[in-house]
Amino acid sequence: MTTRIQTLADSATGLRFTESPRWHDGKLWFLDIHDRRIKTVDLTGSVATVLELPFLPNGFGLTPEGTVVVGDAFQRRIYRGAGGALQELADISGLTEFCLSDGIVDARGRLYVGDIGYNFVDPAARPVETCVIVLVGPDGRASVVADKLSFPNGMAITPSGRKLIVGETMGHRLTAFDIQEDGSLSNRRVWAQLPSSVGPDGICLDAQGAVWCANPEGEDSVVRVREGGEITDRIQVDTHAYAVMLGGPERRHLFICTSGSHDPAEIHRKPTACFQVVEVEVPGAGIP
């Protein structure tokens, strides 16, 4: 695949570390984690703050009505945006360990959010394979719907709303579940076992059912994967890619969140966050 990569916005516009991009209402909404804000960027590169946050966020989505749902990564509490303010929706600290990872809000306003499960800021800490996915309903009720995962990260839901795919970063695989009527997950299976050079971070779906994966540690910064594991497309960027989203007027703009580092001290000293964009042939589908 021949790619023409363009820069949409970068640290010169105030970006520090971007994650969880979501196309909504003609703009890309995203977390700027180390700036503690939810922001938007449009196709002209204009960046705006939607909501300032009193915590480091992770686990972010928008309900069908456009209501913000976001997690406090370290306190492991979930909040809902209401009139420019935040209301606590659920405390899931008793269901998770250390820090929240990525999340997604489905068409019914339910949040699925992963659990990193270990102290990633401690170089001596070992990754664990006991991470969970927690479901938080619009009423705030929360439950563990999947366990024994190896760092669940980016998630996507198919257009039917009946299947969730999650990237297991440390497991080098994409894992699928069937979504039941009550939001619980069943029929866990490996959707694609990936090579050891691919540790999927943020993901999104296209209309052919393939998954685009950000791959921050690999030579291929972004890969497109079919069910079963075939890699059909590879994209290289000049730093590291952490998340992807198919958006734009026809959902054929592949937005890539990049940064030279995810180390908080280095980001504070010299942020290198950037949104890069590639136009692709197959449009996006499903959620996000």
Does 2 score more than 70 pLDDT?
no
Strand partners, 259: 240
Q: Do 172 and 162 meet the contact criterion of CB atoms below 8 Å apart? A: no
Mean pLDDT value of segment 81-86: 84
Of 21-30, 90-99, 124-133, 202-211, least confident by mean pLDDT is: 124-133
Percentage of residues in the chain having pLDDT higher than 90: 88
Structure tokens at 152: 């669940």
Structure tokens at 5: 């990569």
Confidence (pTM): 0.96
CATH architecture of the domain formed by 6-285:
6 Propeller (2.120)
- 177-222 per-position pLDDT tens digit: 999 999 999 999 999 999 999 999 999 999 999 999 999 988 899 9
Mean pLDDT value of segment 98-120: 93
Does 1 score more than 70 pLDDT?
no
Chain position carrying tokens 């991009």: 21
Specify the pLDDT at position 217. 83
> Higher confidence at residue 16 or residue 120?
16
Amino acid identity of residue 120, one-letter, is F
- 122-177 per-position pLDDT tens digit: 767 776 778 999 999 999 999 999 999 999 999 999 999 999 999 999 999 999 99
Residue ranges of the domains in the chain? Answer: 6-285
| Angle at CA of residue 237, ends 233 and 239, nearest 5° | 140
Does 286 score more than 90 pLDDT?
yes
